[in-house]
Amino acid sequence: MGIVVTIAAFLVAIGVLVVFHEFGHYLVARLCNVKVLRFSIGFGKPLWIRKFGKDSTELAVCLLPLGGFVRMLDEREGEVFPEELHRAFNRQHVIRRILIVIAGPVANLFLASFIYTVLFIHGIPGIRPVLGFVPPHSIAAEAHLAPGDVVDTIGGHRISTWQSMSVHLSEAAANGKTVIVTAARHGVKQNFRLNFSGIGSSSINSGLIERLGFLPPEPFVSGVLGEIEPGSPANQSGLVPGDKIMMIEGQAYTGWEDLVQAVRSHPGKPLKLVVNHGNKIEYLTIKPKSVKTGGRNIGWIGAGPLIDPAQIKALRTTEHYGFIDASIHGVTRTLSMSWFTLEMIAKLVMGNAALSNLSGPLTIADYAGQSARMGIIPYLTFLALVSISLGILNLLPIPLLDGGHLLYYMAEIVKGGPVSDKAQAIGQRIGGVLLVVLMVFAFYNDINRIFIG
């Protein structure tokens, strides 16, 4: 069932993003009175075709769903009747051609802004930006942030949820500069200076926020177990919900992190626990199962803590605004994420970021499935992020992409005439090779991330 959800969520996401992107091209082409021959969702053999409009434009759904295109009347691609020459794409003024080409990426950015606006109006549930354990020697600790501090602003940007804090911390870390964080301690706001100069761009990936020393608070310090997976090492050792951890390897239990760290550091090795089991003290030995994650083996026992609903409720918040403020926040979030994407692309090109940051369709499909299973709000958030990425990536000055066509048109404006067919053909070959190389790296990273770990 999980793979079905993943495939369905991925196809819906790709379908929505491609339709919006191509509709941007189509709409502006029609506004410029350019004749559109085909609006295609996907590539390859058409599975379904219908004609619509006064121009009998073909709407096609094709075999390969990873993309789409809008085919316009063009003398370079076939014969054009004399009475329709004025509607051919290649006969349009260069400014019109630029507007038609740029409309696709702009449509993706508009979609992201619209999604964020709707989410902000509805309300995005989140966790208050309250700090839990601050690891010694982390950047947060060096800035003298402490458990219980409530983050208010980062670099002047207002922070209301853990998610927004993560976004702005990632952006600041990617820049490798010093940023001022305002946080409330016992109700009094203070400024803290975070120095990201030692953070390499290759570190801008999952787990970054935790490595910076920003961990959410632990509402589970009681050590009472609340969930035991059937057949897990915890279940086989005799642990049951309601058991209370007293000691781990001879050390007194002080917080849930004690058990997590002990289990993770004992893959396949016996772990001694002292447990209050039905008001009786019992001595248990449990052997964590060895699982591979992040390229290393860690222990797993299949036990979860008893969650205190009151503490969880106190940490929850909802970020929502009226229509005008939601629209402003929607556009601001889109622009912020777009700029962050551009910065990361620039660092990849300059060699200042690892190619392992590249993701392909397998990772996108995996995230689509995960977010869909979490609910409509996480899925829409995922859709907005991918729409931004698609819009920005299409603006890259690589032939075969929209940005490559824009590059030709800019050259045409500078030299006063179109770029020669030979130069464009050479550019197409170079662009094709670049895209194939990028796809190979992306697929390699996908396979390494999902199947190897």
Domains in the chain, start-ordered, CATH in brackets?
A: 2-122+368-452 (no CATH), 126-218+314-362 (2.30.42.10), 225-305 (2.30.42.10)
Instruction: Please give the Cα distance from 338 to 357 (Å, whole number).
Output: 16
Pairing of strands 251-252, 244-248: antiparallel
How far apart are the C-alpha atoms of 335 and 113, rounded to whole Å? 9
For range 291-317, the mean pLDDT: 78
pLDDT per residue over 147-198, tens digit each? 889 999 998 888 888 888 888 888 888 777 788 999 999 889 999 998 887 6
Selected catalytic residue, list 22, 77, 229, 343: 22
Helix 421-447 to helix 361-374 angle, to the nearest 10 degrees?
60
Q: Which of 228, 245, 226, 244 has its CA nearest to residue 236? A: 228
pLDDT band per the 50, 70, 90 thresholds, residue 386: very high
The three-class DSSP label of residue 159 is coil
- 227 is a catalytic site residue: no
Angle (CA) 167-172-176 rounded to 5° is: 145
Beta carbons of 288 and 229 less than 8 angstroms apart: no
Reported confidence tier of residue 348, pLDDT bands at 50, 70, 90: confident
Return the number of other C-beta atoms located less than 10 Å from residue 37's C-beta. Answer: 16
pLDDT reported for residue 352: 65
Task: Say if residues 46 and 71 touch (Cβ distance below 8 Å).
Answer: no
> CB within 8 A of 375, min separation 6: which ones?
none
Tokens encoding 141 = 């600790």
Three-state DSSP at 185 gives strand
Distance CA 185, CA 145 (A): 9
Overall pTM surpassing 0.75 (yes/no): yes
- Given a cut of 70, whether residue 293 has pLDDT beyond it is no
Mind giving me the DSSP string for 251-315? Answer: EE--SHHHHHHHHHT-TTS-EEEEEEETTEEEEEEE-PEEEEETTEEEEE--EEEPP-HHHHHHH
Through-space distance between the first and last CA atoms of the chain, rounded to whole angstroms? 22
Residues in CB range of 436: below 8 A, 6 or more apart = none
